Chain A
Amino acid sequence: MSFQSPLALLWFLPVGGFILALYLLRLRRRDFVVPANFLWPERQDEVRANSLFQKLKFNWLWVLQLLALLALVLGLARWQMRQENVQGLTSVVIVDASASMGATDVSPDRFGVAIDRAEELVKAMKPGDRMALIEAGANPRVLVGLSDDPAKLRQGVAALHRGDAPSDVGEALRLAMALVGRDAESRIVLLSDGCFDSVGAVARGKSQILFEPIGEKSDNLGIQALGTAETPAGLQAYVGVKNFGLGDGKSALTVYADGKSVFSERVSVGAGQTIGRTVKLPGKAQIVRAKLDEGGFLRADDERMVPGDPAGSLRVLLVTKGNLFLETGLSLDARVVLDKSASVPATEQADSAGGGSYDLVIFDSISEVAVKAPMVVTFGQGGVSSAVQVNGKVRSPEVVSVNEQGLLDGVSFEGVYLEDVYSVKPKGGAQILAQAANGPLVVFRDNPKRQVYFAFDLLNGDFPLSVSFPILLGNLIDLAVGSDKEGISTLVTGQTVGIPGKDGEVLRMTPPRGDAFDVKALNGRFTLRNFDQVGEYRIGEGEEAKRYLVNLISDRESTITPVAEFAVAGGDPVKAKPMERFADLWKPLIALMMSLLVLEWYIFMRRS
């Protein structure tokens, strides 16, 4: 409750005092002789006064007059009341359409609740209000631009679609800011459970962000890892189950090989804990699937699929002091089972006994040592076992040539800033894939083991921020995994895949659920964006069809505990806040005043 013009309240004192003063005046009554006055009631309904002075007597007339005056003064002071469920004159509603919004801790699920709320907001629009609707999925999109047409907005709400991919709320907020950021009266309403990665820098603009958290519980088990490996005991699968909730969880874990159950166990996992199981597989399993039957409120992470061919999955050891870019980039590839360490464990070093546990070891600005793994990738200073001999550093190098075939296919260093690079000399059998003005930048050697050397530290430049970085990681993993003989690949939900094709050609895409649809090639590529369901996609038709096993791999989405606030880089966190606005009450107040005056007139007439 507040007042736009609080000083107007001061009028109540002099005017109210004047009204009361009128009632302090003594009524000059006419004398009238009667035979006896004991039959007459002591009833004094004074409606006028014309002489001084008397003690103030209770009278409904002055009470009503003061109430009418109060209503008038409150109206003049522009009394405002908070009203919930309304957004303001201009608003943008962002509906989180990520995997975590599929959690069923509320009915029917969080996304369903968000849709209901969006419908309520459309219904609560007042004449002159405008609203836009944004779906915050893996690729946020504006479903309805700013519109004052409720029917159009309702259609937009009906078109909301949720995928099993993480959402890009930051991009959705940037879209919203682009729409209304200059309007100080506007509101951006985010309907979400807050389970999304931290939002990058967003120009906050003048608009106010209102966040309404959805969801109540956190119970969720998920398949966190699934990989296959050829071992002396035969083909085996490794399954990791993590409890993302705040309490202990139990579920039946079943592993299928080409649809046939090969393992089943009821597992119990403590809060925040991960358990692992090794499962022996039939020798020629094409697809291995792990499934939790009671994996909590989120279903999307209850299932994961990988190719049965061990080449289809990769155990990677990242030796680093900390590199978010590498960790994130590797984790997003479903084929990767990632471990992280500040140094190479003794058991993985080449001079130790036994076989190694990893297919790939990546040295990130850590001195390279000889390891058992069949492939090594080194960023930065290298080591004795490296494919190059490191001689020092050179500042501000200029990249002069890149062999864009094979490993560096699709990778460009154009416009990339590198603060300095190592001056290296390739060892015997090494091949230079990229050349800087003063020496090799990327070196590849395939013998005695497969080694890739990058003559720069990832964090000493902006290469991890370039579009080439995830492509390079994909190429590295492809190289480590080997050729895709079975035509089966793995993807994470929300990922986009490019396939070469002639312009105008059509490719049929069949999702796990729903109807197949066609994708046309453009600019020499089929761009496949709609991998937003967990399950198996078929691209193409007949025996030529390529199969994509799409999994949800996101700890942030699996951690479905609703949050009350989320951070936005470069600004204050956005806290949960009820949707409300101030409603000006002068119209009902004036109506109330008129009603009181009518009532006062009626009583006056009756008493007169």
Chain B
Amino acid sequence: MSEQTLTSLLDIRDVRVLERLRLKPRKSFTGRVRGERLAKEKGVSLEFKDYREYSDGDDLRHLDWNVLARLGVPIVKTYQDEEDLPVYLLVDSSKSMDYGEPGKLQMALRLAAAFGVVAARGGDSVQGVSLTDTPSRTRFLRGRRGVVTLMGWLDSIRGKGDRPVAFHLKQAGKVMGRTGLAVLLTDGMDEHLASSLGQLSAAGHEMWVVQILSPFEIDPGIEGDLRLIDAESGSAVEITANGPTLEAYRKNLAAHNETLKQSVLRYGGRYTLVSSSDSVAKVFSDVFKKAGWVE
């Protein structure tokens, strides 16, 4: 996999780090194709389980040529003992994500790309979902070709939309048919996000939430009398940015983040906070690996 094929989201050093990693969900999920992940039900080797439609990246070895010959439809077999992991990359691409230097959306896209690489390397299938007013999604992608497709889709995402991420998350949950690992990449700047996570959890998904904040949001360096315009709703709050005000903001932010974290943990998921200025390789090696998200 060359640097050119990965566009601007990941460089070769990131890829080298990522290729050595594998997603490590807490739950086990039943895949549709034979993968490289051990199922919980052990003891029956290469036991046929079901058919499903072929998708890009599927190993052609599992293609049922007989069905293709008779019906003209590409169908692949799935097996009981080894399965693929459905990984949903839920990218918050609302307006609030188009903020900061470096931008939060850019960081979300790079992390999504990285998760895609790791998933592909582990034989898992990945579906990218953009959470915005004009949502888009990919098919389940597998293998190197799937990663390339994913990169292209990620490159096309722009921050827009006035609706909060909680709304889009609920909409996305309705079409996430296969239970799997849902990786939400968001800034969490929505008061109702914590409560909306329950829907995905109830559907059986394992929830990984990566909250991305810009350095400014973590430690705002503003002062004076300001009118703060909400990037999504356009509403305004008049403040005098001074010591007490900034202190109150920091307390509010910490309380909000803690609420989000506790909500995720309550649903059996994982949560972490990263800065948009962090490097992807560092996040995976220092945060996700240490926290047991990847191995």
Contacts and interface: CB of A to CB of B under 8 A. Distances in A.
Interface string A21-58: 00000011111111111111111111110000000000
Contacts of A35: 96-97, 99-100, 104, 187, 189, 214, 217, 230-232
Contacts of B226: 29-32
Contact of B238 (A33, A38, A42): A42
A37 B239 CA distance: 10
A608 interface: yes
Interface in B74-111: 96-97, 99-100, 104
A606 B244 contact: yes
B239 A42 contact: yes
Contacts of A46: 225, 240
A48 B249 CA distance: 22
Nearest to A31: B227
Interface in B92-150: 96-97, 99-100, 104
A46 B224 CA distance: 9
A36 B223 CA distance: 17
Interface string B242-277: 111100110011001000000000000000000000
A37 B236 contact: yes
Contact of B232 (A28, A31, A36, A41): A36
Contacts of B249: 39-41
A32 B239 CA distance: 10
B1 interface: no
B14 interface: no
A506 to B, nearest CB: 90
Nearest to A32: B226
26 contacts: A28-B225, A29-B225, A29-B226, A29-B238, A30-B226, A31-B236, A32-B222, A32-B229, A33-B228, A34-B230, A35-B97, A36-B230, A37-B230, A38-B230, A39-B256, A40-B228, A41-B245, A41-B252, A44-B225, A44-B238, A44-B239, A44-B240, A45-B244, A45-B245, A46-B240, A607-B242
User: Contact residue range for chain B?
Assistant: 35 or more
A145 B197 CA distance: 96
A27 B240 CA distance: 10
- SS of B interface (majority): mixed
Given A45-B242, A46-B225, A47-B240, A39 B253 contact: yes
A155 B214 CA distance: 82
User: Contact residue range for chain A?
Assistant: 20 to 34
A459 to B, nearest CB: 92
Contacts, number: 101
Interface of B: 96-97, 99-100, 104, 187, 189-191, 214, 217, 222-232, 235-240, 242-245, 248-249, 252-253, 256
A46 B231 CA distance: 24
Contact of A607 (B97, B229, B240): B240
B230 A42 contact: no
Contacts of B230: 34-38
Contacts of A36: 96, 189-190, 230-232
B229 to A, nearest CB: 5
Q: Nearest 8 pairs between A and B by C-beta?
A: A36-B189, A35-B96, A29-B227, A45-B240, A41-B248, A39-B252, A37-B237, A37-B230
Nearest to B94: A35
A400 B235 CA distance: 121
Interface string A221-238: 000000000000000000
Given A30-B226, A34-B231, A41 B253 contact: no
